[in-house]
């Protein structure tokens, strides 16, 4: 068996040279001083490959057009096996790549490993860092939710502010008019078609330069016996990769990645926020207002990039030990303090998210299509603990009551109303009014296998808001999801027409904002007002969408 395997390896080596190449790669000599600080390069390479792999898996079910991209992402998250895990790996992997690349560059900077003859290696690393940031910018729009849309609006506006090149940048990004199909196509093409081959070529070039010039030795280390890349450094790199992937996998499983509602160009009240790694730049723009805004958007970032590229040509002194590179350590510490301070300030100034804005569209949202009586009935269903005796969908724990997802096939609203109103059968008639029992019956009929577990997926504020809506008989004048009167305006799509502050004030004093309206004032308690307004602002633009 050994001889056959040896013969196969010899034949493969003769025809491809792969075994010899692997032996040469593993047997490379590296300085005796090499150790754990040198693992970041291998980890960065691995994490970039993970991004490529997860991106390809997501692309199998992704529709690269506005609107359809959003629905296809929801399909990936709710229907595709492992889809939520793949998106989590890709999302958190993007952040980890940036962290690891920055740590790698910090290690190289502090060690002074950019000095001659490794200037080109350093410059290639700087460009790779810029490419990882470019992935974040171009991939930000692809979910096509509100956060992605308005964040891209800010990005394109910054690009348009570049003196002289602004109009050209806008045309290149397809954002000269507005963010739309052309902008989406350009960002998708950059993210999927342009950046990956450039990244691969630059990675190969970077690795080639590292192999050509070798790992930078510590001062006075040249005369010490060198060590082989295998086994010690291979073990360190492998362990570091394992730890990094374990962290990434844990984040993908435990840290949920929300999806906001579909991009709404009319929602001018939305406050855009970039990803965490751009928050420092976002916050720095607040320091430069008016004519000085260009300093924060263009001049300072450009100077920072040029300074990084010029580092090997500025610092041309001889290599000294790490503990003697106090200036380099000081620069890294000051840069970290500045970045951390600006990021913390940006996080602290982030406005609190509204209840309507906190809805996660990556999960079931069938409750948004319910009519007010059905949604209010879910509140009574929870309050009366009906779930202790009834399973909502098939595959439950086999509770004593009948399966409610099949109720619609057996009974109508009138039968259910009599059933829940009879204390001998349900025991709840004494605690609910006739209108409330009617809402409970409507909710029971709404529980179908297609809707899933409405009780578990419906936010408490939504069902509570519907209760207040029903209690004040708002349906006599307004239509919600196709049900109600036509005296007042339809409330579907209210979020695209008004702000929550406007709606709250309108409930308290309708005549102030709508003179002549027949609507009476509703001085609700703060908690009730918040629940009602928040629910109204989750209503879809059109029923069934």
Provide the pLDDT for residue 447: 85
Contacts 24+ apart (CB under 8 A), 313-320: 313/119, 315/112, 315/114, 315/115, 316/115, 316/116, 318/219, 319/112, 319/115, 319/216, 319/219, 320/112, 320/219
* Range list for CATH 1.10.760 in the chain: 366-536
Decide: 494 and 368 in contact? Cβ < 8 Å: no
Closest CA to 260 of 151, 97, 145: 145
Decide: 296 and 526 in contact? Cβ < 8 Å: no
* Range list for CATH 1.20.810.10 in the chain: 32-348
**Buried b / exposed e across 94-133, counting CB within 10 Å, b at 16+?**
bebbbbbbbebbbbbbebbbbbeebbebbbbbbbbbebbb
Decide: 492 and 539 in contact? Cβ < 8 Å: yes
Contacting residues for 321 by C-beta, under 8 A, at least 6 apart? 218, 219
Cα within 13 Å of Cα(151), Cβ side: 21
Decide: 395 and 406 in contact? Cβ < 8 Å: no
Count of Cβ atoms closer than 10 Å to residue 251 Cβ: 18
CATH 1.20.810.10 fits 32-348, yes or no: yes
Highest average pLDDT, of 57-61, 255-259, 315-319, comes from 57-61
* For residue 95, pLDDT beyond 80: yes
* For residue 430, pLDDT beyond 70: no
* For range 345-349, the mean pLDDT: 90
Percent of the chain past pLDDT 90, that is, above it, reads: 52
CA–CA separation, 293 vs 369, rounded Å?
44
CA–CA separation, 67 vs 533, rounded Å?
26
Provide the pLDDT for residue 426: 57
* For range 243-265, the mean pLDDT: 93
* For residue 92, pLDDT beyond 90: yes
If DSSP codes are grouped into helix, strand and coil, which group holds residue 433? coil
Provide the pLDDT for residue 398: 67
Count of Cβ atoms closer than 10 Å to residue 4 Cβ: 8
Decide: 96 and 45 in contact? Cβ < 8 Å: no
CA–CA separation, 255 vs 272, rounded Å?
22
Count of Cβ atoms closer than 10 Å to residue 138 Cβ: 21
* For residue 424, pLDDT beyond 80: no
* For range 485-514, the mean pLDDT: 91
pLDDT band of residue 181 (cuts 50, 70, 90) is very high
* For range 236-248, the mean pLDDT: 97
* For range 331-353, the mean pLDDT: 91
If DSSP codes are grouped into helix, strand and coil, which group holds residue 30? strand
Query: What digits encode the pLDDT tens for the residues 103-145?
Result: 999 999 999 999 999 999 999 999 999 999 999 999 999 999 9
* For range 278-307, the mean pLDDT: 87
* For residue 184, pLDDT beyond 60: yes
Q: Average pLDDT, whole number, for the chain?
A: 89
CA–CA separation, 465 vs 442, rounded Å?
16
CA–CA separation, 466 vs 464, rounded Å?
5
Least confident of 76-85, 323-332, 342-351, 530-539: 342-351
Structure tokens at 520: 């009476």
β partners of residue 227: 30
**Class of the CATH-defined domain 366-536:** mainly alpha
* For range 412-422, the mean pLDDT: 78
* For residue 328, pLDDT beyond 70: yes
DSSP class of 538: T
Least confident of 27-36, 47-56, 244-253: 27-36
Provide the pLDDT for residue 544: 65
What backbone torsions phi and psi does residue 79 show, to the nearest 5 degrees? -120, -35
Q: Got the DSSP string for 117-183?
A: T-HHHHHHHHHHHHHHHHHHHHHTTTT-BHHHHHHHHHHHHHHHTSTTTHHHHHHHHT-SS-SSHHH
Decide: 248 and 50 in contact? Cβ < 8 Å: yes
* For range 234-257, the mean pLDDT: 96
pLDDT band of residue 427 (cuts 50, 70, 90) is low
What backbone torsions phi and psi does residue 116 show, to the nearest 5 degrees? -50, 130
Provide the pLDDT for residue 429: 53
Percent of the chain past pLDDT 70, that is, above it, reads: 96
pLDDT band of residue 525 (cuts 50, 70, 90) is very high
Structure tokens at 500: 């929550």
Highest average pLDDT, of 15-29, 222-236, 502-516, comes from 502-516
């940031």: which residue's tokens? 133
Least confident of 29-38, 371-380, 386-395: 386-395
């Amino acid at each position: 068996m050994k001889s056959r395997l040896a013969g196969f390896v010899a034949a493969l080596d003769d025809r491809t040279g792969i075994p010899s190449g692997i032996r040469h790669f593993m047997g490379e000599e590296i300085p005796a001083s090499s150790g754990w600080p040198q693992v970041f390069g291998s980890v960065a390479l691995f994490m970039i490959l993970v991004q490529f792999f997860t991106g390809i898996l997501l692309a199998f079910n992704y529709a690269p057009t506005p609107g359809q991209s959003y629905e296809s992402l929801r399909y990936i998250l709710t229907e595709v096996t492992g889809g939520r895990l793949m998106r989590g790996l890709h999302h958190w992997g993007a952040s980890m790549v940036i962290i690891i690349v920055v740590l790698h560059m910090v290690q190289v900077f502090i060690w002074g490993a950019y000095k001659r003859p490794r200037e080109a290696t350093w410059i290639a690393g700087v460009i790779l860092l810029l490419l990882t940031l470019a992935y974040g910018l171009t991939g930000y729009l692809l979910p096509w939710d509100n956060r992605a849309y308005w964040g891209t609006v800010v990005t394109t506006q910054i690009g348009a502010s570049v003196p002289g090149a602004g109009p050209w940048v806008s045309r290149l990004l397809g954002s000269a008019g507005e963010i739309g199909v052309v902008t989406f196509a350009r960002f998708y093409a950059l993210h999927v078609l342009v950046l990956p081959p450039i990244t691969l070529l630059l990675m190969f070039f970077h690795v080639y330069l590292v192999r050509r010039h070798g790992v930078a030795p510590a001062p006075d280390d040249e005369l010490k016996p060198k060590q082989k890349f295998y086994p010690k450094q291979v073990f360190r790199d492998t362990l570091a990769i394992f730890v990094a992937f374990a962290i990434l996998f844990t984040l993908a499983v435990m840290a949920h990645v929300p999806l906001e509602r579909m991009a709404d160009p009319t929602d001018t009240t939305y406050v855009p926020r970039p990803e965490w790694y751009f928050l420092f730049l976002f916050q720095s723009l607040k320091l430069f207002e008016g004519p000085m805004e260009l300093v924060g958007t263009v001049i300072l970032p450009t100077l920072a990039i040029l300074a990084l590229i010029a580092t090997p040509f500025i610092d041309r002194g001889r290599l000294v030990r790490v503990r003697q590179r106090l200036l380099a350590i000081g620069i890294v510490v000051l840069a970290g303090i500045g970045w951390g301070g600006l990021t913390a300030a940006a996080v602290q100034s982030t406005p609190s998210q509204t209840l309507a804005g906190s809805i996660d569209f990556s999960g079931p949202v069938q409750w948004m299509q319910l009519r007010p009586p059905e949604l209010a009935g879910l509140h009574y269903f929870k309050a009366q603990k009906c779930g202790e005796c009834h399973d909502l969908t098939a595959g439950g724990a086999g509770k004593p009551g009948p399966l409610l997802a099949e109720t619609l096939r057996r009974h109508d609203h009138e039968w259910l109303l009599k059933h829940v109103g009879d204390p001998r059968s349900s025991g709840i008639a004494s605690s609910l009014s006739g209108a409330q029992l009617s809402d409970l019956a409507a909710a029971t009929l709404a529980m179908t296998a297609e809707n899933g577990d409405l009780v578990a997926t419906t936010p408490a504020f939504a069902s509570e808001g519907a209760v207040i809506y029903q209690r004040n008989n708002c349906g006599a004048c307004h239509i919600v999801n196709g049900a109600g009167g036509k005296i007042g305006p339809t409330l579907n799509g209210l979020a695209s027409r008004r702000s929550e502050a406007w709606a709250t004030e309108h409930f308290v004093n309708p005549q102030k904002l709508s003179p002549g309206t027949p609507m009476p004032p509703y001085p609700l308690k703060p908690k009730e007002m918040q629940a009602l307004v928040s629910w109204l602002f989750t209503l879809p633009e059109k029923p069934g969408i």
